[in-house]
A = this chain, B = another copy of it.
């Protein structure tokens, strides 16, 4: 009955040290519940990292060569929390191939190479878990995998990047500029020194890829959909949205339309009474629309050492729990639906469109005719001359299709000295 699983961990950074600490604290409870003792025996670090005291304190052997883990038959599970694609991918494949279960927090890796990794896990009869990769401390992937089995998910909307949500909250609540908000996020350690992946929506896009798999079993790639971040977003648009009863949030959206999937990462207008509107600062939230439950939302910290490490250790506890089953090692989720994209004609949304044009009624007339030509109804939210002597016009459209939107945008872009400075989907209540 009494069993012991030995673990090798790659990386003793923010998450890695948290994993060691959480397991030291909660290991006994997990043993009582599962009958399995989880013990981290080895940690891979870089030569030169000063982890000797930490290792001594937790009885870890420090190693510098991955083979000391992947080729050690006494290690049953590998935890990858070093990040980046290479060599993490090769290390994870090596572990899976030698019959070790793997737990990772690496969203980049799972979003880009998930299929290959999962196939390798299945072939080698081991489990691959990555709860921490989306919305850090929120148990969203396990919830999607386990608690929606009797339901049909139709839409997932996620505030899944803490840095940008922190920035948007500071901009709207403190009237901060984009630059000041970014500086403050960096100061507080939310944003990396190179914040590109956060502010350009790439981090959110990786998570949207993973959420799409868990929601629909469909394997999309980051190149399959539009990804826009919050770089250069204007405080004036955020404030105007607010007067209309909306918060601007960076949303990772994945929607089932007919038999197809529509995904997008972009800033969007969320009605103030929508549950996502109340997600402030660095917190994350994942909102799910489904035919059975209807609306549900899961809120919590998207990052941080302890929350993220807690998700990793929960994955380890699930592996412990599965020991002794006479069934194949369970996979986190089955995904195997064909990649079918929604027809853009069938994907509808209202839009907030901010435009800057030469202050000439003739030009505005042309834009209005373009809208009418593509059957887009709208109302004006703002129409005024800017300090630079341009005319700024902001409209809110009635729901129109992706096709209509694209037609309208390209028509406007063809008009001289006219540009769309911001276009955002308007979410439903």
Contact = CB atoms under 8 A, between A and B. Distances in A.
A310 interface: yes
Interface string A286-318: 000011111111111100101101110110111
Interface in A120-174: 137-139, 142-143, 146-152
A327 B291 CA distance: 34
A314 B137 contact: no
A58 interface: no
Interface stretch (A271-279, A365-373, A416-424): A271-279
A428 to B, nearest CB: 16
**How many A residues touch the partner, as a band?**
35 or more
B327 A26 contact: no
A36 B347 CA distance: 36
Contacts of A22: 150, 292
Contacts of A152: 25-26
A406 interface: no
Contacts of A334: 33
A236 interface: no
A311 B150 CA distance: 8
Contact of A299 (B139, B296, B318, B327): B296
A278 B275 contact: yes
A307 B325 CA distance: 31
A310 B139 contact: no
A326 interface: yes
B151 A147 contact: no
Contact of A30 (B25, B149, B294, B318): B149
A72 to B, nearest CB: 24
Given A149-B30, A310-B151, A327-B325, A293 B297 contact: no
Nearest to A326: B326
A406 B142 CA distance: 43
Contacts of A26: 149-152, 292
Given A292-B310, A309-B292, A146 B146 contact: yes
A310 B153 CA distance: 12
A100 B194 CA distance: 58
Nearest to A146: B142
Q: Which of A29, A294, A317 has the most CB of B within 10 A?
A: A294
B150 A139 contact: no
Interface string A102-132: 0000000000000000000000000000000
Given A293-B301, A296-B137, A147 B314 contact: yes
Contacts of A228: none
Contact of A293 (B277, B278, B290, B310): B310
Given A147-B314, A293-B310, A297-B297, 10 more contacts: A26-B149, A30-B150, A33-B149, A149-B317, A151-B314, A277-B278, A292-B310, A294-B304, A294-B306, A295-B300
5 contacts: A26-B150, A26-B151, A137-B292, A142-B146, A277-B278
